[in-house]
Amino acid sequence: MISFSSSAKSTFPNLRLGCIECTIEVQKDNTTLWEEINLATKELELKLDTPDISTLPAIQSTRQAYKAAGKDPARYRPASEALLRRVVKGKGLYQVNNVVDLLNLVSIRSGYSICGYDVSLIQGDIELGIGKEGEPYEGIGRGVLNIQNLPVFRDEVGAFGTPTSDSTRTMVRASTTRFLMIFLDFGSHSHLEYSMAEAVDLLINYAGGKDFKEQIIK
């Protein structure tokens, strides 16, 4: 179950969460998936310039949400914006594993920052709130991250996810079998359902996805 704290509800009035949960098979590499990723990154590299990225609807609304919460999106970039900046510079995407890689593919195509978690590592119900001063958090590849005023997912243990960086505690790893993918749609954009459907197809095709549960929470 995922709910909003009262502060998140008032700060992000248009927020919707697109949630996909399924059983998956994690692989270190998937050649066919990377062929699709390489085509997508080359297309976006030719299509976009760096100044265009912040004007994409899903990224623009995420940046506005950060500002509303008191966080500078230029210092703590939403994950989708950071990925697209890499792509436009010709650096492509990081290669992690098939599940994270396909999530990143959907993110650069849609502009949504998308969180991905090992369900078995989440303790109890999930609440979306706003980060507090000094709240402990270790981001994947980021080390200790200042999450004050960031949108934050918490469980019974504490903070484990933000649209800037997921945490090491609940990250997808080789042993993951049940996966939760959350789209953060701060602007109630019309393409959320399309992007979720694309993610489901990719999960089926490249990660053996099955036993799906889908929900949009607002």
Q: What is the DSSP letter of 111?
A: -
Tokens of 178: 């049940």
pLDDT at 1: 84
Domain boundaries, the chain: 2-217
Domain 2-217, architecture per CATH: 3-Layer(bba) Sandwich (3.50)
What is the CB-side half-sphere exposure of residue 152 using CA atoms within 13 A?
A: 25
**What is the DSSP track for 149-176?**
TSEEEE-SS-EEE-SS--BSTT---TT-
Q: How many H helices and E strands in the chain? A: 7, 10
Residues 9-59: tens digit of each pLDDT: 999 999 999 999 999 999 998 999 999 999 999 999 999 999 999 999 999
pLDDT at 43: 96
Residues forming a β-bridge with 23: 178, 210
Tokens of 184: 């953060």
Residues 119-175: tens digit of each pLDDT: 999 999 999 999 999 999 999 988 899 999 999 999 999 999 999 999 999 999 999
Element (H, E) at 196: helix 192-207
**Measured between alpha carbons, how far is 123 from 120 in angstroms, rounded to an integer?**
8
